Structure 1
């Protein structure tokens, strides 16, 4: 796996434009660079895209090696299945060969990269920001979280209605993927700052998570294909309501994992309990939960928090990894103490 800079990503993006039948000199605007480079552009009418009107698109240059072609194809099939069921998700453009993406860079020093193309979603920005949730500055309304809960429930309901089944395995958010030994995102105990009593607390809490999730089980009503990264930055606000984007980490997992992800960065917020209750109320307005779901949620919430530490452990030096180690780690330890005390 190699890392590319903006110049290389832009060159790869322009090769992809040509592959999709779009003028490669089309101006590109960088929207985001985290796991992928995400660009937007306006096409003023391409025969290949079947439109004579100016249309905005989003193009993603995927991080090399993050997913195989089969895994990425599986992801895009999942989004299409949700779209067909009326869920608010992106609409992808098929490549000329019929796949949901193209591969470019065969002659580039950076090597082959996957690139997909989707219609741009007119929006008013993200649902919120992770750091604003953690530092308590987020000024969101409980109704926002109710809407987010409804969206998560609609995803889970639509997945079951569609009969979607994963064509190829991905890194599941199951017991082993969450708390080891086969961590999907790395071992949280590798965070250097996790020492002494805090480390012992996390180790004990991991065992408690294993016990509780093992007893909770993985029946179809609780476990299946999920978005897996339902953070505030992966939800857009539009005139038609919230839209869920970025299915990079989609895999099989507990449905509650999506709710844990949605609320995780707001656990330090002074309005956390209000936000959490609204999230669950919105979800249950569409998809009922039972007492066992509510009882196991603290364990899943902590498991979600630990995944971020595992992610950071393998990316030290990056801004987000350092922020997680400095600002999120203390709250993860707090969640662990609360789980052990319950």
Structure 2
């Protein structure tokens, strides 16, 4: 249910469980989750996230918060969850529809969501921050009970993919279906060769698209770890191009990200070679997502030719013409 009055009632029910006096909620976005800005007369600003029902368990959300705690302790500027009156950080709400929803309150982070006019230097900063994130992931001892989704071809683009079925996406044709199926077979084979060793595969953000960045001056901050999970580390660069993989500036964004990442972390030729496959897999994952979110403002803003451009990208990738400068 996305009725604003209903969502505001849920938000106020959640806020009643936090030590905030006279808190005012302002709806920021309705997407996968519902996000509110929370203001108080004299205290700091916060962000309240109402989770979509049935996607994450409380254990999965708690695991996300545990990683955020650990990242914050290392000095990374990431969202910080706030405890409620009882010391707990996950609230479970039940609205008039009887469907349980989880909610988490975070401290506010300054910055502006970038657009495609973003300075490529911000991608270099993003690469450096992501390298630090991955270095932490490789060495962090996950606490008992830690559980997050695993992002592989099965969960991203398979018949039971978590974001929907790409064959059901708007604009799909029989030739396009055959094209994409062939691309995904090749992607799966390349990923199998690339492997899932600890240097290639681990806990990542998994959704570093522009909407999940905050740019402030010379700072690029990461927000919304809601989809963090286990996958290939280089998928974080693929996700950074989300929806704009065919943008004229995309090769420059990739080059700057790689330069920033390489200044802090280690990249191998195999990492560069697998990147086009991960990017095309992400694009197809997003194609499936547009089919399950066709009525949302975000999907409608992509334009009627977005699916056709996706098919063109698949052709280019199949013919070795996509991000070929990385070879």
Give the alignment's TM-score, normalised by structure 2: 0.90
In structure 2, relative to structure 1, the CA distance for the partners of 1:315 and 1:337 (3 Å cut) is: same
CA distance in 2, matches of 1:325, 1:187: 20
Match of 2:75, SS?
A: coil
Q: Structure 1: state its 5+ residue gaps.
A: 45-52, 129-137
Match of 2:101 among 113, 117, 138: 113
Match runs of 1:45-124 below 5 Å: 54-105=43-94, 108-123=96-111
In the alignment, is the contact (CA less than 8 A) between 1:74 and 1:166 conserved in 2?
A: no
Kept after mapping to 2: 8 A contact 1:174/1:253: yes
**Within 1, Cα distance between the matches of 2:51 and 2:251?**
36
Does residue 1:30 correspond to 2:27, yes or no?
yes
How far off is 1:33 after superposition?
Answer: 1.7
Tell me, yes or no, if structure 1 residue 126 matches structure 2 residue 125. Answer: no
After superposition, the CA RMSD in angstroms is 2.1
Deviation for aligned residue 1:332: 2.1
Higher mean displacement: 287-296 or 182-191: 182-191
Deviation at 1:75, TM superposition (A): 1.4
Could you say what secondary structure the match of 1:127 adopts? Answer: coil
- Report how many aligned residue pairs link the two structures: 320
Indicate how the Cα distance of structure 1 residues 165 and 223 shifts in structure 2: closer, same or farther if over 3 A, else same.
farther
When structure 1 is superposed on structure 2, of 252-261 and 54-63 the one drifting more is 54-63
The equivalent residue for 1:11 is: 9
Shift of the alpha carbon at 1:189?
Answer: 1.5
In 1, Cα distance between equivalents of 2:30 and 2:293: 15
The change in CA–CA distance for 1:313 and 1:165 in structure 2 (over 3 A counts) is farther
Give the unaligned 5+ runs of structure 2.
321-327
* Per-residue deviation, 1:117: 0.9
The answer as to whether partners of 2:26 and 2:37 remain within 8 angstroms in 1 is: yes
Structure 2 residue corresponding to 1:254, chosen from 232, 248, 254: 232
Q: Within 1, Cα distance between the matches of 2:232 and 2:144?
A: 15
1:264 and 1:305 in contact (8 A); partners too = yes
Residues 139-150 of structure 1 correspond to what in structure 2 (within 5 A)? 139-150=117-128
TM-score (norm 1): 0.86
Residue 50 of structure 1: aligned partner: none
Following superposition of structure 1 onto structure 2, how do residues 218-233 of structure 1 map, counting pairs within 5 Å? 218-233=196-211
- CA–CA distance in 2 between the matches of 1:272 and 1:307? 18
